[in-house]
Amino acid sequence: MIARVAVFAPVDRTFDYRVPAALTVVVGARVWAPFGGRALEGVVIAVDPPDAVDDPKPLSRLVDAPPVGADLVTLAAWVAEYYCAPPGEVMRLMLPAGGAARSKRKLILTEAGRLAADGLSAALEPLSLQGLDADAKGLLSSLAAGPFKGPVPPRALRTLLERALVRTEEAVSTRAARSETLLRPATPLDDAAQAATFARARRRGEVYARIAAAGVLTLSALREADPRAGEHVRALVEAGLVSAESQALSNDPFADVATEHAIAPTLTVAQAAALAIIEPALRDAKYAPHLLHGITGSGKTEVYLQAIARALALGRTALVLVPEISLTPQLAARFRGRFGDRVAVLHSGLSDAARADAWRRIQRGQVGIALGARSAVFAPLERLGIVVVDEEHDSSFKQEEGVRYHGRDVALVRARAAGAVVLLGSATPSLETFAAARDGRMGLITLPERATARPLPPVEIVDLKQHRGVLSDVLLKALRETLAAGEQSILFLNRRGFSTFSLCKSCGEPVRCRHCAVSLTYHRGDDRLLCHYCGFSAAPSKKCAKCGAISVERTGYGTEQLQEMLAKELPGARVARLDRDTAQGDGLTRVLDSMRLRKVDVLVGTQMVTKGHDFPGVTLVGIVLADQGLNLPDFRASERTFQLLEQVAGRAGRGDRPGRVILQAFQPRADAIACARDHDYARFVDIELNSRLDPTRYPPHTRMACIRVDGADPLHVKDAAMRAAEAARRLSEKAPPEALAAVLGPAEAPLSRLKGRTRWQLFVQASSARALRALARAAAEVGGTRGVRLSIDIDPISML
């Protein structure tokens, strides 16, 4: 038989291999295959009868690991095709973090090599050693002495291989589950019997006595008291006095998380109506995508929980995707409170061991719910019954490097294949999803009121053109009133650090990163200038590198500076900060727990504070620079600004007390600002959809892809971008008018230099996914030359 294999390499095709008679290969099997003079791991995606003409190379061996499920193999094929990605790189996503097999080459002496080594040690020189240099003889002697761990001289190894004195063997390993040995007494012995049995082995008798007294004891616990306990246990097991059983250990970091909301509350009328729509599709095991459009605080999570409970009761499983790992602890607590240990958590903030352990528990069917960020969409769940994508509008679902897939769209495809219900939840749905629901391509379920019967908080707009600084008198007064009332506040500023850029007041030269076309941000805590893209850092200096004047000044506001300003303006207030800098390690959990326990009066944060958090004590939200992202070179800039503002505003007034929002902006009349003030999603959608029709169509009125071109040499990058655009244009000119094929660009990317590489880009547009991919591939097939790299980024769109 012939196995078609997606090898784990950045190549845009699969490869055929002959299946040796000694191997049994099925679709999804993990294998080692010869590839370019080495062995690479891959996954079998098809097994076919042999071709009479071709005789491909044989597979090397199977990987000792469970196969990838056939449904995930099919899903990987779709992802590779839709996102124009290498099949093997996509297939690697189906494995747990660190789950790829590792291959290590071992050098082994042949019989001739052993005889030659014996001659060396006896100061003889048999014929096989004649002409060997000192390195080859040294390597031969080292191999004869035992396992060789040092660097191998390539020329010496080549000589020994040519003379058949050594051979190589691939040693393959996979990440094994951590386990513990449980010990129990197999043969009960009373005191007299113990004394007689262990008369000449006192220490062994003490070990037996400890096991007998405990009933069940772990080997690790014994070793803590006696490092040589393992020897005694081995003897006791051989004598039949003790039984030993290996048990897998859990690496679940959320096992001890305090649970919440264990008892399901009474549903609101809107929540009950939502479940009434969902339940029939669950019973029929039928693909049914729905947009769950509920305002902030409307109880979308409770709908998720009760819908999942019904799916589990029907013997199905559930997949829950969240956009940020910052949301995972809170949701994990709520899900564990309702479902106990039937929940496994997967996200990139966990260790490889923890993710691998969760993946194995899902694959074995030990849990019925997989909860995690973007990559959890590939969890090995069987009998999938419901898929939930919380905050479906969030850009974090889009993978920006490697395989550039969108977690929400892949989730829809997976659910369609499994016959599962899909709930895309959001208070501010993406325009693509809302358009699909409005046009009838998915259901629309609405939760128009808060579950607590509290209205959405009123929003007051402050025009910053009429104030100095970023803490207006209006905002400061509201903060003091909230503090005096014993309530909590959140201040949102989507820039971390202390000062966002430094500038020479003499010549106007900004202090930029050496490797990226961005200004460096000053972080006072570290007293360093830092690039938030590549990590480059430098010591701050008043001296301008261009003109030499001592006139460099720092300007712009970040969360670090805002926290310091609040400490001065609100003496005695407990001010905390939540951004990427403070969320390292257990910082995220500590800050969120402090907010819930009311140990924080004011929380300053970036967009990490906007997403899904439920703090009942928060009655004031201040949005410091609301229009900060409005003028970014992105056709979604206005949409993302509105979503951020509406989401962060929704953190206020979720408890017993009413909330209020103060929104500061330099452009108070901008559509996104005005609609956020009125909590008017419908009006914003109408305005934004119309704006994307003229003069150029943008999603959701068309499909779109970006071809990114980057390299070390600016001229080579520009040339490749021009040739790519020309190739796409030639194809677009042949397309029929209804295809709406178009090519925009090329031009320098907004961030024209990143990590030392110049960046250009062009966009292709088409009305269908197939036409879009054809244009994108035509551009990318121009190929990277002289260090230039081309990549395809398909724009996310929920039109499935």
Per residue in 605-639, pLDDT (tens digit) is 998 888 778 899 999 999 999 999 999 999 999 99
User: So what's the pLDDT on residue 799?
Assistant: 46
Q: 168, 164, 123, 162: which is closest to 141 by C-alpha? A: 123
Average of per-residue pLDDT values in the chain: 89
User: So what's the pLDDT on residue 124?
Assistant: 57
Task: Give bridge partners of residue 446 from the DSSP assignment.
Answer: 293
Residue positions counted in the chain: 800
User: So what's the pLDDT on residue 518?
Assistant: 94
- Residue-wise pLDDT for 184-196, tens only, equals 998 888 888 888 8
**Residue 512 gets which letter from DSSP?**
B
Q: Does residue 312 contact residue 416 with C-beta atoms inside 8 Å?
A: no
User: So what's the pLDDT on residue 798?
Assistant: 46
**Measured between alpha carbons, how far is residue 71 from residues 32, 379, 675 in Å?**
22, 11, 43
Residue 249: which H helix or E strand, with range? none
Q: What is the SS3 assignment for 422-437?
A: EEEEECCCCHHHHHHH
CA atoms of 670 and 155, how far apart (whole Å): 70
Is pLDDT larger for residue 322 or for residue 131? 322
228 burial (CB, 10 Å; 0-12 / 13-18 / 19+) is exposed
| Positions of E strands within 13-128 | 15-18, 30-35, 38-48, 61-62, 102-109
Q: What is the SS3 assignment for 719-778?
A: HHHHHHHHHHHHHHHHCCHHHCCEEEEEEEEEEEEECCEEEEEEEEEECCHHHHHHHHHH
- Residue-wise pLDDT for 456-469, tens only, equals 999 999 999 999 88
Instruction: Flag whether pLDDT at 153 surpasses 90.
Output: no
Token pair for 512: 């930029």
For the chain, the straight-line distance linking the first and the last C-alpha, in angstroms and rounded, comes to: 36
User: So what's the pLDDT on residue 28?
Assistant: 94
**Residue 508 gets which letter from DSSP?**
-
Instruction: Flag whether pLDDT at 583 surpasses 90.
Output: no
Which range in 195-204, 282-291, 350-359 is most confidently predicted, on average pLDDT? 282-291
Q: Is 256 helix (H, G, I), strand (E, B) or coil?
A: coil
From 160-169, 210-219, 443-452, 532-541, the region with the lowest mean pLDDT: 160-169
Is pLDDT larger for residue 126 or for residue 47? 47
Query: What share of residues in the chain are helix, strand, coil (percent, to 5)?
Result: 35, 25, 40
User: So what's the pLDDT on residue 188?
Assistant: 86
CA-based radius of gyration for the chain: 31
pTM of the entire structure?
Answer: 0.82
User: So what's the pLDDT on residue 341?
Assistant: 87
CA atoms of 538 and 751, how far apart (whole Å): 20
- Residue-wise pLDDT for 751-794, tens only, equals 999 999 999 999 999 999 899 999 999 998 886 667 888 889 98
Is pLDDT larger for residue 210 or for residue 695? 210
Instruction: Flag whether pLDDT at 222 surpasses 90.
Output: no
Q: Is 111 helix (H, G, I), strand (E, B) or coil?
A: helix
Quick one: average pLDDT of 112-139?
A: 73
Quick one: average pLDDT of 258-280?
A: 86
Quick one: average pLDDT of 559-566?
A: 96
Percent of the chain residues past pLDDT 70, beyond the cut: 92
User: So what's the pLDDT on residue 287?
Assistant: 95
CA atoms of 64 and 2, how far apart (whole Å): 20
User: So what's the pLDDT on residue 231?
Assistant: 82
